[in-house]
Chain A
Amino acid sequence: DTGVSQNPRHKITKRGQNVTFRCDPISEHNRLYWYRQTLGQGPEFLTYFQNEAQLEKSRLLSDRFSAERPKGSFSTLEIQRTEQGDSAMYLCASSPRAGRTHTQYFGPGTRLTVL
């Protein structure tokens, strides 16, 4: 059983550019979550999906951020017109529909640096 995968692992971009990250959850996990973690802090919730439906979005998710999970499998997180304050680790997690349904299993993260 492979874990959650995220691509790319690292992204360096210039301010004002758009970036897109991808997350592939563990197979058969129906819930998928995005978090953001800045240096020295715990992760902060951004949004989550149950299958293809986006059920909750944090106030942290400004208009420049959009997330999709079109077929209920992988998800993408896009940041438009990046700002230096967007520099952070973006973590994706998934949880199963049966068994330990509340437990979230995290991917390795995408580290974004905005110059």
Chain B
Amino acid sequence: AQKITQTQPGMFVQEKEAVTLDCTYDTSDPSYGLFWYKQPSSGEMIFLIYQGSYDQQNATEGRYSLNFQKARKSANLVISASQLGDSAMYFCAMREGQGDYKLSFGAGTTVTVRA
């Protein structure tokens, strides 16, 4: 079974508007972590934001925030005030268990910001 599901293959957003990228996950482990990475056309994976399963508050990092709904097993990324440089592929990923560090990635969502 897929551990991470990203159902939006591509999205368009107007500059300065907000965009929400969907991510649902599947795990039976009570301890896990959720990540979002950005991959521009250059190929490098850039870490954006992290949410631990026991964190009480939704994570925020500058213009990025993670809408963590534990009961629904969703971890959507919200990018506020989109900029042209936000055009990239975005991946949701999960780490399961306390001692396990490998990441399972979704298929990604391509975001294109229009001027």
Q: Is A67 an interface residue (CB 8 A)?
A: no
Interface segment, one of A15-23, A68-76, A77-85, A89-97: A89-97
What is the distance, in angstroms, from B64's C-beta to the closest C-beta of chain A? Answer: 14
Q: Are A42 and B101 in contact (CB under 8 A)?
A: no
- The count of residues in chain B whose C-beta lies closer than 8 Å to any C-beta of chain A is 23
Give B31-55 interface residues, CB cut-off 8 Å to A. Answer: 33, 35, 37, 42-47, 50, 52
Main secondary structure of the interface of B (DSSP, over half): strand
Q: Are A33 and B102 in contact (CB under 8 A)?
A: yes
> Inside 8 A of B84's CB, which chain A residues have their CB?
none
Which of A42, A45, A48, A100 is close to B91, meaning CB atoms less than 8 Å apart?
A: A42
> Inside 8 A of A107's CB, which chain B residues have their CB?
44
Decide: A103 near B50, CB < 8 A? Known: A43-B45, A108-B42, A109-B44: yes
Q: How far is the CA of A102 from the CA of B47 in the complex (A)?
A: 11
Q: Are A31 and B105 in contact (CB under 8 A)?
A: no
Number of A-B contacts (CB under 8 A): 58
Q: Are A105 and B50 in contact (CB under 8 A)?
A: no
Q: Are B37 and A106 in contact (CB under 8 A)?
A: yes
Decide: A111 near B43, CB < 8 A? Known: A41-B107, A42-B106, A102-B95: yes
> Inside 8 A of A40's CB, which chain B residues have their CB?
107-108
Q: Is A56 an interface residue (CB 8 A)?
A: yes
Which of B44, B52, B103, B108 is close to A104, meaning CB atoms less than 8 Å apart?
A: B103
Given A33-B102, A40-B107, A103-B50, 7 other A-B contacts at CB below 8 A?
A33-B103, A42-B107, A43-B91, A45-B102, A89-B43, A95-B101, A100-B50
Closest 3 CB pairs of A and B: A42-B105, A106-B45, A45-B102
The interface of chain A, by Cβ under 8 A from chain B, is: 31, 33, 35, 40-45, 48, 56, 58, 89, 91, 93, 95, 100, 102-109, 111
